[in-house]
Every structure is written in C-alpha cells, then in structure tokens.
Amino acid sequence: MRVITGTARGRKLKTPENYDIRPTTDNVKEALFNIIQFDVEGRRVLDLFAGTGQLGIEALSRGAKSCVFIDESRDAVKIVKENLKSCGLNGTVFQMNALDYLRRGERFDLIFVDPPYDAGLYEPVLKSLNLVDNLSDGGIIICEARREESLPEMEEPYRKGKEYRYGKVKICIYTKESRI
C-alpha cells in the first residue's frame, strides 16, 4: 500500500499485522481519487473509520488543507500517526467513536466513510451526518461498502449520487447542494 500521487507520492504505508483493519486496495483508492480529483485541493477532510489513514493521507498528499482521522482502535490510531510521520504530513488524530465525533458539529468539505463492513454503521452515520449537518455546502461524502450493500438515501439538502463498482467493492458518492 502506497501513496499514489502528490507530495508523499510513492511512500509506503504501514499496514496492520492482523486483519482487524481492512485497508482500501490501491486500485479502488486510485479510482476513488480519479472521481474526486478536482475536489481535494484546499479542502477540509474527515477520514472516519480511518484504519491505516490512507484515504486522508492521500488527500493531504494531493493538497487538502487539513484532515481529521477518527478510529476507535488504539492500534489503528497508532498506525495513522506512524503513516503521517513517515509521509511528512500533519493531521489531527482522535481515538474515539465516529458517531460521538460527528456530534461535535464540525464541518468538512470531504468526508470518507469506510466502516467495518458488517458493523451496521452506514445508516446511523449517514443519518448523523444529515442531522448534525457536518458537510459544508457543495461538499462530498464518499462511502465504501461491499458491492451488494444497499446504502440509504439522505434527506435534503443531501443527495445520493452515482455508485461505482470495483470487483467486490462499491463506492457511493453523496453531495450537499449549495444553499444560495
């Protein structure tokens, strides 16, 4: 697993020795960043269920203004911090529950949602994002799920957009309409 492009291009990222963390494959990560390539630079990013931190690190490497990494696992938080350091990047890392973090009400331009597949967290996280309104106007939420997972709709001003399939994985894009 490596950083694909940007200031940390080619840097190898540390991965867990066990399989409690399921990193996004490089092929899926590259496809995902091709989809949002013009929506990263200068943006505030939230990497929920950070795992190794690779999605947020890729965003920082590509010019994101900042990134907050959230994971409940002590091991995951340690790996994220090590990966940030080895890439020469800065981010804010919290060991805490994703839903508890969302209740803080901070706003982001780009949010990665990649929970453990069988944890039943997609609906509660998307509902919380909708209710607390953590996404800035014109922002993007990217959910990674199993191909067969049915991801819920969100209430206005949020909109479920296109779904992309890559082997066993599905990427779903949600957007928030700008309020004028």
CA distance 152 to 125: 10
Q: Which pLDDT belongs to residue 180?
A: 58
Q: Which pLDDT belongs to residue 118?
A: 84
CA distance 58 to 86: 13
- The whole-number mean pLDDT for each consecutive block of 10 residues of the chain, a chain of 180 residues, reads 91 79 77 92 97 96 98 95 97 97 97 92 96 95 94 94 93 85
Distance separating the N- and C-terminal Cα atoms of the chain: 41
Q: Which pLDDT belongs to residue 22?
A: 66
Q: Which pLDDT belongs to residue 20?
A: 60
Q: List pLDDT tens digits, range 141-164.
A: 999 999 999 999 999 999 999 999
Q: Which pLDDT belongs to residue 94?
A: 98
Q: Which of 56, 57, 169 is nearest to 117 (CA)?
A: 169
